[in-house]
Amino acid sequence: MPLAVPQSWQDVLAAQTREPYFAELERFLAAERAEHRVFPPEGEVFAALEATAYRDVRVVVLGQDPYHDEGQAHGMCFSVRPGVKVPPSLRNMLKELRDDVGCEVPGHGYLGAWAAQGVLLLNTVLTVRAHEPASHKGRGWERFTDAVVQAMAQRPEPAVFVLWGAHAKKKAALIDPVRHRVIQGAHPSPLSARLFFGSRPFSKVNAALEELGYAPLDWQLPATATL
């Protein structure tokens, strides 16, 4: 099944879908899905782009590759569907959110309320083989998500880019830090949580948005989540 870029992103990403690497990526994914469990499901690979239209993006949060356990990945970085146990990195994000801006920690990890406010929750690699982290690294997704970041960086309207961890920070070279705002810090993973806690990224994002002339985000997730 061909990868279909959501309509609001088609104009800025059309050149990518015509490149040989993209066709090779489609062939690779078809072969992977024929032999293995691949996450997220086929129809949710571009869920982040579907949830937040190109013109509506105010904040870009970059993850790495999708969650690799059953039922977790649904196409938006760090997020899980309602009813799915909150993974450790996201649990750390919600703790810092509470300590930073006073948000109550909800009983779920679905971040759709952020996406609806213009937060693009983008992984740098958009698929993964079940239970094998980084298994789709180096297959073409990085080039595609570079193009997404570049499209945002070249857009007339500025945005705030949130780069957590060494992997995401590599994308900083694609972004003009004068026209946009770039917030870098430690990844919320348990491996680096001691550096993530206290970094106050959520209040920094809101301060940056106000500098750019936007309204701040309401980071509070609803107590219960619906898709």
Catalytic residues: 65
* φ, ψ of residue 148 in degrees (nearest 5): -65, -45
In whole angstroms, give the CA distance from residue 21 to residue 67: 24
In whole angstroms, give the CA distance from residue 62 to residue 164: 7
**Degrees (nearest 5) of the Cα angle 200, 164, 146?**
140
Secondary structure E strands in the chain: 38-39, 59-63, 119-123, 128-129, 160-164, 181-185
